[in-house]
Amino acid sequence: EPEVTQTPSHQVTQMGQEVILRCVPISNHLYFYWYRQILGQKVEFLVSFYNNEISEKSEIFDDQFSVERPDGSNFTLKIRSTKLEDSAMYFCASIRLLGAGYEQYFGPGTRLTVT
Amino acid sequence: KQEVTQIPAALSVPEGENLVLNCSFTDSAIYNLQWFRQDPGKGLTSLLLIQSSQREQTSGRLNASLDKSSGRSTLYIAASQPGDSATYLCAVKEGGSEKLVFGKGTKLTVNP
């Protein structure tokens, strides 16, 4: 069964460093998402992406964050200058089409630890 | 602003028991509602998706209901097993937005 994959599974970085989290969505999916979950808290929406553009973003997704689909398969989240409060589990999700159904499929997540 | 609440926060039951997890949301203008399972340190596995026009969905021992007008959904698990131990998350999608809004989850422990 097709699934969303994410790499790395765990990333440790120092405050102020740039990190890139990578996702490979399901191959025929067209809409892509990033969410994060700070330990012990709710899963929060960051950004949605379609047709090489951001279609929606939350207030969390400030200028320190960016997303890109550099090729036909990868979808990346970049954090330019990490802060301690960026430590969280980051989940990528995808769906095939908007409209009826709209079931989001999630990857296993990348645990980001900022020291 | 949509808020999703799940009660109880934690639940411990003996194996074989039937149980109900609750989810409530403040704005009834939702597009759909999705139940997920999350194992410790892991990703989210979709269990059931209910469209706003539907009243319930079933998959194996799981049954999810939706009462949109009252802003409530329940997840019923029949004949619980130790392998059902996980955190169960409820999330709603509103019309006009692509994002899912999540509850904090119910941590379920099924004791052998």
Query: What is the distance between the alpha carbons of residues B94 and B100, in angstroms, rounded to a whole number?
Result: 8
Task: Determine the 3-state secondary structure of B18 from DSSP.
Answer: coil
Neighboring chain B residues of A58 at a CB cutoff of 8 Å: 99
Residue A82's identity, in one-letter code, is T
Mean pLDDT of chain B: 94
CB-neighbour burial class of residue B18 (10 A; exposed 0-12, middle 13-18, buried 19+): exposed
Identify the contact set of chain A against chain B, taking CB-CB distances under 8 A: 6, 31, 33, 35, 41-45, 48, 55-56, 58, 89, 91, 98, 100-109, 111
pLDDT band of residue B109 (cuts 50, 70, 90) is very high
Query: What is the distance between the alpha carbons of residues A58 and A54, in angstroms, rounded to a whole number?
Result: 11
Q: pLDDT 10s per residue in chain A (115 long)?
A: 778 999 999 999 999 999 999 999 988 888 999 999 999 899 999 999 998 899 999 999 999 999 999 887 899 999 999 999 999 999 999 987 755 567 889 999 999 999 9
The pLDDT score that the predictor gives to residue B96 is: 81
Residue B19's identity, in one-letter code, is L
pLDDT in tens, B45-94: 999 999 999 999 999 999 999 999 999 999 999 999 999 999 999 999 98
- Interface A-B, measured as beta-carbon pairs within 8 A, has a size of 54
- CB within 8 Å: A102 and B32: yes
